[in-house]
Structure formats: C-alpha cells, structure tokens
Structure 1
Amino acid sequence: MNNSKRTVVVTGFGPFGEHTVNASWVAVQELKKLGLGTEVDLHVYEVPVEYQTVQSLVPSLWKQYHPLLVVHVGVSGMATTVTLEKCGRNHGYKGLDNSSFCPDSQCCIVGGPDCIDSVIDMESVCKRVTASGLGVAVSVSKDAGRYLCDFTYYTSLYLSHGRSAFVHVPPIGKPYSGEDLGRALQAIVQEMLELLDQAEEKIHCQHFH
C-alpha cells in the first residue's frame, strides 16, 4: 500500500416525514467524532431526501474526493438491527420525495442494469462485526426499499462499479442510541476497508505470479 491516506466518504440523510431527526445523520456525526483512525481521511455529508439532489450530489462526491469507498447510511422505521444492504435496484421509484417529486422514468439510470451488487461481501462484514461483540445487532438485506436510500445506493454503485455500501439504521432509541449507532458504523466501515485491502492484495499477488 502507498503511504497516502485513504479517503472514505460517509453520507446520512436529512429529515423527512415523521423522521424530524434522521437517525442516519445522527449516526454519521457520531462516526465523524470517533473517526476511522489516522490512516483514513473521513468526509461526511448530509443528503437531502430529494431525487434530483442525489443525482447531482453523488457524482460530485466521487469526482471531488476519488474515495476508496463511499458508505451511505439511511434510516428505516421498520429496522430493529443495523442492516447491511447487498445491492441497489434501478426500477420502481414511485414514492414522492421532500419536494413532492419522483422520477418520470421511475428508475435511477435509464438503461442501467436492474440490480447492482456491492463488491463488498456484506455477509462477511456482518459475521465479523457480530463476532467482535459490539452489542449492536447487525443483519444483511437484499432490498433497500425503493425510496431515496435505494436510489442513492444504486446511483453510487453504478458510478463506482460496486465500490459503495449502504447501511440502514433503526430510529434513535429503537433500541440504540446515536452513540451506539456511531460505534457500529465505525466497526462496519473498518471491516469493509479491511476486506477491500485483502481483495487488493489478492489482485496484487496474482499480478506478480
């Protein structure tokens, strides 16, 4: 590995509907306090719950930072665990956003594949974080819900050829505090970076043999 710091961008969402305080942004701010160690340059962003903003903001984050990894965090009123999403989906966006808009095409990228998987093995991240005894339950899902979360994830996966991740958190206090969620995010992102490193080393080794 070269000595330059690795850049990671983590986003949370702003308020919407009954989520006047969005747990995802609270969790991301807690993660920012904790940091990801001296080797990682961490940037955090609050994303408005608007399709059109996502369409311009997500590409600009990739362009501006050239991050190794972008992790998007969203809240799910139905979640009781911290949930790692394996894939993003292109079609089925009918829910109106904060500006009462939804894409005419009801999809993220016209002509894009139906579904894009993250290059990160979420089952493996889940197992490792669970084994670390963090005291926060983690699970894996294949359906990010066809709203702004899924829309953002797909857009990011498309742009990064799969080098993105999405984490759903439950609302604050149901059952976890913001600090708990921040600690969980820290552990999750560190495991993701570890897995990406191992994948790079594998490619490297194959290259030299």
Structure 2
Amino acid sequence: MGEGQERCDVLVTGFGPFPRVPVNPTTVLAECLCRSRRLARLGIRVEHHVFPTRYDILDEALPARLAAARPRAVLMLGVAARTRHLRVETRAVNKANRTAPDASGKTRRGAALERGAPLARRSPAPLARLKVGMAGTGVPVRLSLDAGRYLCNASYFTALGRTGQTRPPIQLVFVHVPMPGSWALAPTARPRRRDRRAAAGAGRERRPPLAAMVRALETAAIVLARERRRRRAP
C-alpha cells in the first residue's frame, strides 16, 4: 500500500475450499463484511482477502497481505464444520498437523509451526467484550482455547507473530464459524430474548443462518475498531 493510501480499519480474512468442505462459508462472510452498509455508516473501512487453504500462504501470502493492508484490526475467519456456534479463539499454539493435507494435497513438515517461537500466542483483542457483543445479536458464541491444528491455527499463530510488536497493538482475533443452517442473506428478525432462552434450554443448538452470522461478525468488527481507537486516544 502506498503512503498516500488510507489504512483500512479492519482486514477480514477467510479461506477457500479444502478437503471435505467444497464450499467455505468464510468466503461469503468476508465478502459480506467488506460490503456491509452497517460498517460503512459507522465510518469503519473494511478490506477483505480470501486465502487458498494451503500451508504455503504462511510464508508469503499472509505476511504480504498484512503488510499491504496495514490494518488497525484483523478479523480472521475459519470454518469448524462440526460445531453449531461461533467460537472466538483466544490463542494459537505452535503445533502443526502433519497428517491433514491442505487444498493442494500437501501436509506440514515438522511438529512446530515456527522454531524458536513461543508455545502459544494470545489474542490482544477484548475477548469477553467480543463474546458479549456477538452473542447479543442472537447467535450462540463461546470462547475457545483450541483453534485446532489445521490452517486456522497455523494462520492465526503466524498473524499474531507478525502483528505482535505494533504499538498500540493491532486488534487481531480468529473466529471459527459453523456451516450455516441457511445460506440466505436476506435479513431475518432478531430473536427475542425469551426465544433465545427457550432455544438455549432446548438442548442441541441449531446452526445459525448465514445472515445471522453476518450480523454477529459485523458486531465483532465494530468492537475491534472501537478498541483500537480507544487505545490510540490520549
């Protein structure tokens, strides 16, 4: 990015397809957040990038995109196909999965993602505030200590390492999303509080529709952008 170009407030990243997930919802979600009228009305400038689900992005494409966008906050998205709620990942660990192939059929070599790096890196974002804000949209949200051992954890660990030295810190977090219960983007009515309580007590959670996840992730972007502005204020 040239010096005369404005920095983006929030960079949203997603992934493309990979084995057993031919259509990745984070591709659509990242595009929706970039086009969000709600965020635009609040003056939050959003850029997005969808990475191929390949390990080679860790060395080149991901660091290059972070450097080019110079974002004030980063919202990374990945899919957890078996879950039914959004997971705010609190940390990434320095461990690689040497058996699960990426979209190109390659696996990661070595047990560690980065030699000499710490065992874990934590998100600097206001995690509790993110959870409360996102859950307030009616979507089930949980904090998570385990981002897995696939590209989601690996990209999160890499991004935290690349942005960890900035002051004030770049507000970076990774959110795992489920496969949507509905792919429709038409807005639906926000669930009433009593309906949310009833759903929570009904046992198994339903997969949230794509439109509801967009609302929750818009809220996450707002929280990240405001936190960065708050830390920058004198």
Structure-2-length-normalised TM-score: 0.78
State the Cα distance separating 1:54 from its structure 2 match.
3.2
- The answer (yes or no) to whether the contact 1:47–1:54 under 8 Å persists in 2 is no
Identity rate, percent: 26
Q: Counterpart of 2:228? A: 196
Structure-1-length-normalised TM-score: 0.86
1:167 is paired with a residue whose SS is strand
- 1:111-130 to structure 2, matched below 5 A, reads 111-130=116-135
- The answer (yes or no) to whether the contact 2:44–2:225 under 8 Å persists in 1 is no
Structure 1: runs of 5+ lacking an equivalent: 205-209
How many correspondences in the alignment? Answer: 197
One-letter amino acid of the counterpart of residue 157, structure 2: Y
Q: Confirm whether residue 97 of structure 1 aligns to residue 84 of structure 2.
A: no
Q: Counterpart of 2:219? A: 187
State the Cα distance separating 1:119 from its structure 2 match.
0.7
- Alpha-carbon displacement from aligned partner over 1:131-152 (angstroms, at most 9, x marks no partner): xx31211111011001000001
State the Cα RMSD in Å: 1.8
Structure 2: runs of 5+ lacking an equivalent: 1-5, 182-205
Q: Counterpart of 2:21? A: 19
Question: Which protein has the bigger helix share?
Answer: 1
Partners of 2:212 and 2:122 in 1: CA distance: 27
2:61 is paired with a residue whose SS is helix
- 1:1-209 to structure 2, matched below 5 A, reads 6-35=8-37, 36-38=39-41, 39-94=43-98, 95-130=100-135, 133-161=136-164, 163=170, 164-173=172-181, 175-201=207-233, 204=234
Runs of 4+ with deviation above 4 angstroms = none
One-letter amino acid of the counterpart of residue 151, structure 1: A
Bigger Cα Rg: 2
- The answer (yes or no) to whether the contact 1:24–1:168 under 8 Å persists in 2 is no
